[in-house]
Every structure is written in structure tokens, then in C-alpha cells.
Structure 1
Amino acid sequence: MSGNENTNTEKIAIKKVTPENFNKFIELIEKLAEYEKLTPPDDDAKKRLREDALSENPRYEAYLGFMNGNPVGYITIYYTYSTFLAKPTLYLEDIFVLDECRKQGLGKELFEFCRNIARTKECGRIDWTVLTWNEPSIRFYEKQGGKRQDWFLYRLEGDEI
């Protein structure tokens, strides 16, 4: 966690999602869905998100990014495994900062936070995806040193599984 001041004198902090701040986390997920023009989680999905993050054996980790005490961004991560590296991979599922709070250092702090977790957990790499139309995010990731991979993303969903 940084807690450092950035050039805009906005105090930045990163904190784990807890039962007390979970509703703020959900509000930010809904804002990401709006930004990506996707359907936000329904009530059943929100219950699963709560259980899967806050259970004794969580399926994923979630952290809120704060600026001046206000939650304005978040990340969700989980781990996969690379058989070629024989090491865990940190998978960055979501990184999101409210539009009005972008370009103030929080996204970079959240991304660096992920890097630090990956180092601590001795991960061999960090993976994530980005929508092809999301040019601001593509530029952000490339500025952080991210390299586009030559992979196609495939999916089975719902009854197809």
C-alpha cells in the first residue's frame, strides 16, 4: 500500500474489501459494467460475490482504491498456474477507477499493488485481458510495461459449460 501523496496532493490508499465496505465495492463494479456497456451483477451474483470474497477460503481477492478517503477504484485478482514456469500466475480480473478520478495516480498505484502481491507470492507472471476498443486502458497497460500476447480468448458460458 502506498499511502503516498501524488502530484495532485490526493492522498491514495488501498484497502482490502471487507463486509463494511462491500457495498461500495459493488457500486464500483456497477460503474465498470456501465463503462464497458455490460449488464451489472444481479442480486444473486452480488450474493455470490460477497460469499466468494469474504469466505474463509475466498475464490478471489478484492481491494478498494481510495483518494482522500473516498473509494473511487478497485481491483480483483485470483491465481492460476503456469505449468511451463511451474509457478503461480496472478490474474488481474478487474482494475477500475471512476472516470472523474483517472490520471491522478490511483490506477498506477493499483497496478503496482498487484505487482507487489505477485512478487510476494512468487508468481511467475501477471495476466489480464483488455477490451479491443478500450484504447485508454491499452495505452495505460503499455505504459506500465504490459505486452500484448498472441492469444485468442475463448469462452463457454452458462448452459454451454
Structure 2
Amino acid sequence: MNIKMTSHGRFKFRRGEKEDMFAVHEMIQELADYEKMSDGPQQTLEDLKRDCHIDYCHIYVLDYLKDETEKVIIGYAICYFSYSTWLGKCYFLEDIYVRPAYRRLGAGSFMFRQIATQAQAYQCKRIDFHVLSWNPATEFYKKLGAFDLTETEAWHYYRLNEKGINQVVKGLNNID
């Protein structure tokens, strides 16, 4: 599917290009700092430039139009497909971020609506995403109609990092 640029007032939502990845890389670090995980991001600018046009990695940017000739990237979102054995194709929202100076202008709502539009166009049955429990954005997501699976269905999110993967492959985790 070819992603078309969508605009509303002073915002433009579009698929990120290689030249946008410097701003995306900066905002990924800003988000990590906000989440108190400053050392977390390990991908490089080159990784983002390489991956921004891969079919399974959808990197979107949100432009703010200052005037008719000047725009600035104020947000980004990273999504990819997942699969539910119950529903089929789903869209996973890895990150959504709007720079603090541009919050409370409707940018987040606009961007989330565009992500939902993309999910619908891709015929996805749901959008999944994770939110830190202390993040005030949880209220925003609830207003959109999202619900916390930990509260409603007692689902917990687990992760196997690279070291864990290697240990499982080598049989070091005594899983038998």
C-alpha cells in the first residue's frame, strides 16, 4: 500500500523518508529520556535510514507547517504488523511521540487517528501498543477507546532479549 500524505490544518502525517531519520532518531532519544531509559535506544541513524522503507517497518512523521514554505517534524510513530490467532492481521504501534512544545494542539489525536486509518486500510483487526503505567498518556488512550489488557484480561507482557534468545538456542535455560 502506498502511504499518502494526509494533512489537517497545520499538520501533515506521512511515511518518513531517509532525510527525516535524523529528526526521528533525535525524538527516539527524547522519548527514551522521558521514559527514564536514556541508555535504551541502541539503533543507529543508519539503521533507521535502512529500515524506513522496509515493508514490515512503517516509520511515520508528523510535520507542523509554520507557514506556506516552512515545516518542522514534530512527531513520529513506528508501526509494524503482528498476527493474532483469534483475529488475524493486527497493527502494532511501537512508538508514538510528539515533541513537548507541540502538545495540546491536537497533534497526538491527529497522529493516532491517522495510524488508525492506516490500520484500517491494511485491514488490521486491532492496534496493540504498550504504555508505561505512570505515563499520563494512559488517560488519552482510554479516551480514544483503548483498554488496558493487564486490568481487563490479566495479560502480562514478556520479553526475551538477545542474550535470552541465545541461551534458549544453546539450551542453557533448562526449559525441559
| TM-score bucket (shorter structure) | 0.7 to 0.9
- Which runs of structure 1 show a deviation greater than 3 angstroms over 4 or more consecutive aligned residues? none
Provide the C-alpha distance between the structure 1 equivalents of 2:7 and 2:52, rounded to a whole number of angstroms.
24
Partner of 2:36: 37
Deviations 1:66-104 (A, max 9, x none): 11221111100000111111x210000000011121111
CA distance in 1, matches of 2:48, 2:20: 13
Give the aligned partner of residue 102 of structure 2.
101
What one-letter code is carried by the residue in structure 1 that aligns with 2:141?
Answer: Y
> Any unmatched runs of 5+ in structure 2?
66-70, 166-176
**Are 2:142 and 1:142 equivalent residues in the alignment?**
yes
CA distance in structure 1 between the partners assigned to 2:60 and 2:162 by the alignment: 27
Aligned to 2:47: 48
CA distance in 1, matches of 2:33, 2:17: 23
Return the structure number with greater relative CO, CA threshold 8 A, min gap 6: 1
Query: Which residue, out of 61, 65, 70, partners 1:64?
Result: 61
Runs (5+) with no aligned partner, structure 1: 6-10
Name the residue aligned to 1:8. Answer: none
Identity percentage over the alignment?
32
Q: Which residue number corresponds to residue 130 of structure 1? A: 131
User: What does the per-residue CA deviation read over 1:18-56, in whole Å, with 9 as the maximum and x for residues that have no partner?
Assistant: 1121111111111111111112534x54332322223xx
Letter in 1 for 2:143: K
After TM superposition, the score normalised by the length of structure 2 is: 0.80
Cα separation, partners in 2 of 1:40 and 1:50, compared to 1, 3 Å: farther
2 CA distance for matches of 1:41 and 1:153?
Answer: 19
Q: Give the number of the structure whose alpha-carbon radius of gyration is greater.
A: 2
Equivalents in 2 of 1:4, 1:52: separation in Å?
A: 27
Q: How far, CA to CA, are the matches of 1:103 and 1:143 in structure 2?
A: 15
- Counterparts of 1:48 and 1:146 in 2: how far apart (Å)? 31
Provide the secondary structure at the position in 2 that maps to 1:20. Answer: helix
Aligned to 1:155: 159
